[in-house]
Amino acid sequence: MDMNLLFYPPDKNPALIHPLVLAYVGDAIFELFIRQVVISQPNQRPNYLHRTATRYVSAKAQSKALEQWLPLLTEEEQDVVRRGRNAKSGSIPKNADVLEYRHSTAMECLIGYLHYKGEHARLRELLDMLINK
């Protein structure tokens, strides 16, 4: 995937960006990645696309994805995950419990962080694990 279309550099070092801002960007990147994966499959009926994508982008699914990634993360990546998990967003979606939501936010934070650090190969490696189970 050519990430140049998605790259507009932040005004500060990614390590200094608030975790919820990284999660905001990470959410969009993850959603786009999953949509591209789903559209690459033969069945492209809109209802199927939505149902399939939802299996990956729900807070519950993202929380499970983070669990899969945790043993493989570097110390730096683990620190970003901790920052994302501990960030207080003020609201929790009705379809997720607090822990799932925090883990989901942590996963999105890591995605945003890796994107802004320009570590696209690492990001792709982690994302591919989720679709190649």
Residue 70 has pLDDT above 90, yes or no: yes
79 assigned to active site: no
pLDDT at 24 over 90: yes
Q: How many other C-beta atoms can be found within 10 angstroms of the C-beta atom of residue 16?
A: 8
Q: Which of 27, 79, 97, 128 is catalytic?
A: 27
Is the pLDDT at 128 greater than 50? The verdict is yes
pLDDT greater than 90 at residue 126:
yes
| Cβ neighbour number for residue 120 with a 10 Å cutoff | 16
Mean pLDDT throughout 55-68? 94
* Between 91 and 50, residue with greater pLDDT: 50
Backbone torsions φ then ψ of 7, nearest 5 degrees: -100, 115
What domains can you pick out in the chain, each with its CATH number? 15-131 (1.10.1520.10)
User: What percent of the chain stands above pLDDT 70?
Assistant: 92
Q: To the nearest whole percent, how much of the chain has pLDDT over 90?
A: 69
Question: Residue 21 class from Cβ within 10 Å (0-12 exposed, 13-18 middle, 19+ buried)?
Answer: middle
pLDDT at residue 1, as a whole number: 47
- Provide the pLDDT for residue 27: 96
